[in-house]
Structure 1
């Protein structure tokens, strides 16, 4: 497969595939006589793994480590569990932040009297300086 075909099949941009190659996440593909990259099933599987991991929010460093571990099929999955556990903790932190944000927005909406922007509690809460932000 040429790079455009594999990009289309996986749902990645061509530049992203080149980036992953430059970062060492995938092996350099073979080249045609015209110097076009030719990808095989192994590249497709590995890029699919990377995309799925990234879609689930794993960092690039975590993906690199997961790939390293996946390459050793007989290794213990304990290290994978540690990486996944850290990721779950990060997800929980983000969920707590989002819950707090939701609570604040709902509270602001309930306080809204529907009058003018000058009296809008949501705009006031978002303004870095407070209610006097628009005055000189």
Structure 2
């Protein structure tokens, strides 16, 4: 089961994202949620998520700042930006930071699950390779 952290400053949106998908049926679990980047950093060490669903505009630490921290301290975490901002500069910066995908709100179920299932496939392949190499 892959663990996901949901990072968004809007409580209603976080709850929608957490409850709108039967995560276990796809091999995922929501391990925790965070209201901003600082909150996320405090939780990541304890919960050890594999994937972060991150909004861009949040107080205290933006999603892009959080991604920079994750790249430095937790490069194994796959990041998917889920945001209402379609501006090219945000998308370009996100790609430069190495996010796996960039999903625009509002989105449908398939738009959300497609990148997550690709991430799951990549992580599972890496784990299998480690077993055969070890």
Which TM bucket (shorter chain)? 0.3 to 0.5
TM-score (normalised: structure 2): 0.33
Higher relative contact order by CA 8 Å / sep ≥ 6: 1 or 2? 2
TM-score (normalised: structure 1): 0.33
- Of Structure 1 and Structure 2, the greater helix share is in 1
